[in-house]
Amino acid sequence: MGRLFLITLEGNIYSCKHCQTHFGLSEDILSKSFHCKHGKAYLFDKVVNVTFGDKEERMMMTGMHIVVDIFCVGCGSIVGWKYEAAHEKSQKYKEGKFILERFKILGPDGSHYMDQEAQIGGSDPDDA
């Protein structure tokens, strides 16, 4: 295997929830309003420390896209996908951009993703 050369980011970092490998910065998020089958997903302008799967055509809510799955270089877990091409003109802005599934990554404060239902009535203390 050899030693992995990981890029270290500074700032508000999103990272792998399994191995804390850095993926992206909050300033690189283009949209937080994406959804995947597991819940929320974020559209990133760029991500680091990922490897790519095979290209495939995938039908999504917004039409047919050519995508590649992306995997964490640290632990190999799938963390999202990259849009290689979009058929619909209105979706072209996503080409070359990355989706990270929110529940697979840690936020800048190290928090795990919890959906809104889990947060309501949760026992976490306020940051006071």
| Nearest distance from C-beta of residue 15 to Zn ion, angstroms | 8
Residue 13 interacting with Zn ion (CB under 5 A): no
Task: Say which DSSP state 117 is in.
Answer: H
Per-residue three-class SS string for 27-68:
HHEEEEEEEECCEEEEEECCCCCEEEEEEEEEEECCEEEEEE
Which residue lies nearer to Zn ion by CB, 31 or 51? 51
Residue 18 interacting with Zn ion (CB under 5 A): yes
Residue 74 interacting with Zn ion (CB under 5 A): yes
- Kindly state the tokens that stand for 16: 């792998």
* CB contact set of 114 (below 8 Å; sequence gap of 6+): 122
Residue 72 interacting with Zn ion (CB under 5 A): yes
Residue 75 interacting with Zn ion (CB under 5 A): yes
Residue 6 interacting with Zn ion (CB under 5 A): no
Where on the chain is the footprint of Zn ion (CB under 5 A)? 16, 18-19, 21, 72, 74-75
